[in-house]
Chains A and B, each alone.
Chain A
């Protein structure tokens, strides 16, 4: 039965769906009281993000003189950073984002809600603190408690700051038993994976074996923690839009925050070097071409914005539907959506 049909009989479902508006209200209160402005930027663009492994929805912008390809955003990042370069100050946005050709999952919907915020004269560590405070604030206002203990699926999670934080290198050393040098070497990492019984062929590349080890050996362990966990300093190839670490440029200032097996957010100290950014975009677009993904150009306006001088900025993208899942205590994203994709694209 579809959600809209079930609301009549299932009061519980209706209450869970209404957690969404409580999360939206909470997010807005949190940022407004800290002096952030809410912005609204286009969802339809000519030059989407360049991530090689994301696929976009494509449409066409038609006017009397011409037709041009248009795409739905995978994230509002570029527009928001252009505004930052323009001097707008601290901003946040809650909007829909779109990712095509993703498989079925209880945590994904092709059209989903993203929260992004950018803090100027800040870096990813400031964003870590923001997130810790935001989650506490939401829990406090929605569940009317100061306890800092969030119950999810019968398990108690202590969400009081600070969260345990590990670098990706530390996590690989602890859970996979590899050194930093082995981690970054395709040959060495493939050997370790093969020894552990993973399928490793000539086609398997570093990214494939890195992520498979990460998902099986590290993410699985993080999921059992009873506190949120922040994983930071990712290998630079896994962080195209973030600054490299000055102390070790093989790693970049990126972090992700996990709770109860859900990846809630992905954050960076934003890359402000226009030349390096353009180079990374070109590499990404070449890989997109190689992988047979939808092709489009790079956002030169974004490069120009960086070149015009952008303050040191920390930024993050958070999956709002997943925050709602946590607050409503549900394990399936469908229970947070008034119309999950299956109920929109049904066969008649």
Chain B
């Protein structure tokens, strides 16, 4: 565990708050105008899943948790769990789909992700910034008959719907931004 100044905590790290492990989902600078700077953080309790907000003085000490990061490969989806595999040991790890926070639609076979563990329990999944996926459904679109100029919805192999340029066809591979779900480019 290392001690940080609250003014330095950032989204995506794990900290101890009120003696319990939390994930920092958001930080915001707060200035009372006539006062010094404060940091307002949104913290998700790793055990209960509840999110709270707390405003720290910038110099308050916060303990950062030692979180282990393990690189695993996506194997397949089950109902409420996702199965990953260590490509070296073939050991499988099951992770609750809720940890993917809606991003399970970016998981394609053999995708490498980082699973974060605290006290040997999976607490988070980090995807690469872009994923290559195949288009399974795309209509031929006529330019000019859409509200959103130049875009049409296409369905990807995982079921994800992406707003893509009109020239995109079924069977093509696209690069998708895993942060926003946006079309980035075609891929070969």
Contacts and interface: CB of A to CB of B under 8 A. Distances in A.
Interface of A: 8-11, 51, 53, 102-108, 197, 199, 203-204, 207-208, 210-212, 214-216, 220, 238-240, 256, 263, 266
Nearest to A10: B148
Interface stretch (B30-38, B70-78, B136-144): B30-38
A-side binding surface: helix, strand, loop or mixed?
loop
Interface stretch (B55-63, B81-89, B95-103, B112-120): B55-63
23 contacts: A9-B150, A11-B147, A51-B33, A53-B31, A53-B37, A105-B30, A108-B31, A199-B56, A199-B57, A199-B60, A204-B57, A207-B36, A208-B36, A210-B35, A211-B32, A211-B35, A211-B38, A211-B57, A215-B32, A215-B38, A215-B55, A240-B34, A266-B33
A204 B34 CA distance: 17
A220 B28 CA distance: 14
Q: Which 3 pairs show the lowest CB-CB distances between chains A and B? A: A103-B29, A215-B55, A105-B29
B53 A53 contact: no
Interface in B16-71: 18, 27-40, 53-57, 59-61
A106 B28 contact: yes
A240 B40 CA distance: 25
Given A53-B37, A103-B7, A105-B30, 13 more contacts: A51-B33, A51-B34, A103-B29, A104-B29, A199-B60, A211-B36, A212-B56, A214-B32, A215-B32, A215-B55, A216-B54, A256-B33, A266-B33
B186 interface: no
B151 interface: yes
Given A212-B55, A215-B38, A102 B31 contact: yes
Nearest to B59: A203
B1 interface: no
B148 A11 contact: yes
